Amino acid sequence: MGIYATFWHCHPEGLAREFMSGPLDEFSAWCETTSADFPDDIEPSSLSLLPMIRARGIDALSVTTIAEATAVDRLLDTYFGLFCDTSRPSLKRATDPSLLRARRFQGMFGRSRETSRCAAAFDLWSFMPTGRGVGRDSTMLPYRSGDFDYRLSYWTSGEVLVLHDAFCADAVPAEVDRSALVVARSAVAAAREQQTGLIVEIA
Q: Residues with Cβ < 8 Å from 130, sequence gap 6 or more?
A: 142, 143, 151, 153
- What is the C-alpha R_g of the chain? 17
**CB-based contact 7:163 (threshold 8 Å):** no
Among candidate residues 150, 151, 167, 154, the one with its CA nearest the CA of residue 196: 154
CA distance 102 to 176: 13
Per-residue confidence (pLDDT) for residue 154, from 0 to 100? 98
Per-residue confidence (pLDDT) for residue 136, from 0 to 100? 94
Q: What is the mean pLDDT of the chain?
A: 95
Check whether 1 has a pLDDT greater than 50.
no
Residue 195 DSSP label: T
Residues 27-37 have a mean pLDDT of 94
Name the pLDDT band for 148 (thresholds 50, 70, 90).
confident
Per-residue confidence (pLDDT) for residue 40, from 0 to 100? 86
Residue ranges of domains in the chain: 4-202
How would you list the strands of the sheet with 197-202, edge to edge? 100-101, 4-10, 197-202, 151-155
Q: Residues with Cβ < 8 Å from 129, sequence gap 6 or more?
A: 102, 105, 106, 151, 202
Per-residue pLDDT tens for 51-99?
Answer: 999 999 999 999 999 999 999 999 999 999 999 999 999 999 999 888 9
Per-residue pLDDT tens for 86-145?
Answer: 999 999 999 988 899 999 999 999 999 999 999 999 999 999 999 999 999 998 999 999
CA distance 118 to 169: 9
